[in-house]
Structure 1
């Protein structure tokens, strides 16, 4: 089940990336910004081949593929098929050197992901994972916070795990980010899609705690009504 696919994504991993969000998550982390991806909706079932065809059609540079959700590991067979296809596409695309990395987000801790043969097979196809549930109180906080940004993590408990030589090259130095006092600033991009239900605005990235409520308040004061938002019940 697919929630969304978007290109370009510049806020969930290094470089210019293709982003794929799965639909369905039973973890329901408090403060999650993507509550619209929680329900497992059979109406959003999309063949893996269609997603791979979309990747093949992308016009510009692709430095990596980021898979998030929802919870990708709650669809292990589909996730494995997707990553096998992405790796095959990468091999055809990068014949001399592999420059495209695969990053997968999960709300499960890494020790659980590495526990079964099924999920270990998936991990072997990733260059890196960012693992662990979102914990709202461990997000550095809003615009007046002095806490540093966690870059591609939502909360300080989440772990960046490089899983390949390319993953270690691109993510190894980030495994401890947030503990060094670095502040890279907020990393959020805006996407506007036109669909059968009208125009929809997506915020892609890792905002600080309170940033989205602050944004909607600013928009309301400017006369822009945000309507339903994914981070509120």
Structure 2
């Protein structure tokens, strides 16, 4: 299996982010000692709970609350400061529920919708807006985002209204999504900035390239 080291330079902030795949904790610690002070950042599957930033689980707004948001989404977690889920530093909305269930998926707890929480879309958007100076855009992944297309379409609409760059990961191919002929899916595909499509295939993971889990996956931008 290939081992890759990716350096992300942020001269405006005086930061260097190092992404290491298939490496031991000791190797990561040795590299951190060479570079100096370390701040761990998030990715879709942190190595250990103590090695990533806290995540948010927004609460679903009660109906009696003023300004009730009727739009909700099944959310596994929301986290910030990811550098592996699209170029730049991202806030990431990770939804729960997936019918594709790729073999050797790195986040199987997201397969069951009930492992997440039904939350208001407004609470997610408010959290992302509050951190807008700390990221370059938003990535939506899962689970399977297109498993709840109406909710994701509403989320995408609100994020784009705030001017955010939006990327969506899907286990479906773009051809499969188009053939579903659903208005919500068509809206998502025409509004987002990047789709990373296709199931994860473990036999094709070597040499997949940046932001992809396996070589079959495509980066499709507008």
Q: TM-score over 0.5 for the alignment?
A: yes
Q: Aligned to 2:80, what secondary structure does the other structure show?
A: strand
Q: How many residues align?
A: 147
Aligned partners of 2:124 and 2:132: how far apart in 1?
15
The superposition leaves residues 154-209 of structure 1 with CA deviations (integer Å, 9 ceiling, x where unpaired) of 0011111112xxxxxxxxxxxxxxxxxxxxxxxxxxxxxxxxxxxxxxxxxxxxxx
Q: CA deviation at 1:43?
A: 6.0
> How far does residue 42 in structure 1 lie from its aligned partner after superposition?
7.7
> In the alignment, is residue 26 of structure 1 matched against residue 99 of structure 2?
yes
Higher relative contact order (CA 8 A, sep 6+): 1
31, 55, 63: which one aligns with 2:128: 55
Q: 1:77 aligns with which of 150, 161, 172?
A: 150
Which secondary structure state, in structure 1, belongs to the residue aligned with residue 155 of structure 2?
A: helix
Given that 2:208 and 2:215 are in contact with CA atoms closer than 8 Å, whether structure 1 keeps it comes out as no
Residues 13, 152 of structure 1: 8 Å contact kept: yes
Q: Distance in 2 between matches of 1:157 and 1:135?
A: 8
Which ranges in structure 1 are unaligned for 5 or more consecutive residues? 91-99, 141-147, 164-233
Provide closer, same or farther for how the CA distance between residues 25 and 49 of structure 1 changes in structure 2, counting only shifts above 3 A.
same
State the alpha-carbon separation in 1 of the partners of residues 202 and 116 from structure 2: 30
Q: Which runs of 4+ in 1 moved over 6 A?
A: none
Task: Return the alpha-carbon distance in structure 2 between the equivalents of residues 132 and 85 of structure 1.
Answer: 25
Give the Cα separation in 2 of the matches to 1:70 and 1:88.
Answer: 25
Q: 1:112 to 1:12 in 2, by over 3 A?
A: same
1:108 to 154, 172, 175: 172
Structure 2 unaligned runs (5+)? 1-73
2:217 paired residue among 154, 158, 163: 158
Aligned pairs for 1:1-233 within 5 A: 1-41=74-114, 44-58=117-131, 60-90=133-163, 100-115=164-179, 116-118=181-183, 119-140=185-206, 148-163=207-222
Deviation at residue 62 of structure 1 after TM alignment? 2.1
TM-score, length-normalised on structure 1? Answer: 0.60
CA contact (8 A) 1:14 1:64 kept: no
Q: Decide whether aligned partners of structure 1 residues 27 and 117 sit closer, same or farther in structure 2, where only a CA change above 3 A counts.
A: closer
Change (3 A) 1:155 1:47: same
Q: Distance in 1 between matches of 2:195 and 2:155?
A: 15
* CA deviation string 1:32-79 (max 9, x = no partner): 001010001186101111101111111633211100000000000110
Report the TM-score, using the length of structure 2 for normalisation.
0.63
